[in-house]
Amino acid sequence: MTISVDTIKQIIRPYGDTTGDAMVQVSFTLPVPQGLRADAAALQLAGKMGLDPASVVHTKAIGPDFTFFIVYGKATHLIDYASIVVPEGREYPLLTPNQVNLAIKTVLARKLVVVGACIGTDAHTVGIDAILNVKGFAGEKGLEYYREIEVHNLGAQVEVDELVARAKGANADAVLVSQVVTQKSAHLHNTKQMAAAFADAYPTSVTGGLGRPLLVVGGPRFDTVTPSDLGVDRIFGKGTTPGEVASYLVAALIPTWSPA
């Protein structure tokens, strides 16, 4: 008997205590006081999420009117792993620092200028520092280490107008913005505001590298949107390394260059 490849499935379930037991753990907060009624509400929510049976294994009052829950339960949903399309990977080559420097020196014949900052009320510079500072991240040195890249790290809580002014003053080729604070989608609002400000400041530009700087944002919660949604050229998520960013800048700003 011949089995069509199209009919092959690989059904998988979550793993909790035993392979295939479908057990998962979720946490959430409800706007109700801690107590038995709150526990019942949490279990009802878990049931509507597809956990049956479910147990409240931990609760903690957050002030008088909110309760944090950890719920453990059996998922009723199944996943056909074989039907999942592999997400597209990086569409540009990962370059070494020497290759990045060579590309910039050969084609631009000047330093590539990068301006970085955390904008709005975001004071978390860990992300932008990991990409820009010499100490870098994940064993890779930051963009300050690249001799052909001129880095201007403006730090935290930079107003959008100031960012635009500093980028124009430095003749920036790229602007890198890190957004870690995500409450009430602040990272999305801030990024859209930034993109609009650069569009106003460079009215004749069509895209990054053609009149205005390349606009690059990064942070842990940008996975639900695309660059076109926000008006930027590139979004990087958690775990991004300096080498990935440097390689992207070369691919985007010096597309005619390729490693030997």
- List, as own/partner pairs, every contact residues 7-11 make where C-beta atoms lie below 8 angstroms and the sequence separation is at least 24, other chains included: 8/82, 9/80, 9/82, 9/83, 10/80, 10/81, 10/82, 11/78, 11/79, 11/80, 11/81
How far is CA 59 from each of CA 35, 37, 72, 170, rounded to the nearest angstrom? 9, 12, 12, 52
Q: Is the dihedral of CA 245, 92, 205, 113 positive or negative?
A: positive
Report the DSSP beta bridge partners of residue 178. 118, 218
How far is CA 230 from each of CA 55, 114, 233, rounded to the nearest angstrom? 40, 20, 9
To the query of whether residue 105 is one of the catalytic residues in this protein, the response is: no
Among 9, 60, 135, 238, the one annotated catalytic = 135
Residues in the chain: 260
Reported as type and span, the H/E element at residue 37 is: helix 36-48
Look up tokens 């064993």; give the residue. Answer: 139
Extract the tokens encoding 152: 């201007």
| DSSP annotation string for 131-187 | HHSTT-BTTB--GGG-TTEEEEE--SSB-HHHHHHHHHHTT-SEEEEE----GGGHH
Q: Which residues are catalytic?
A: 135
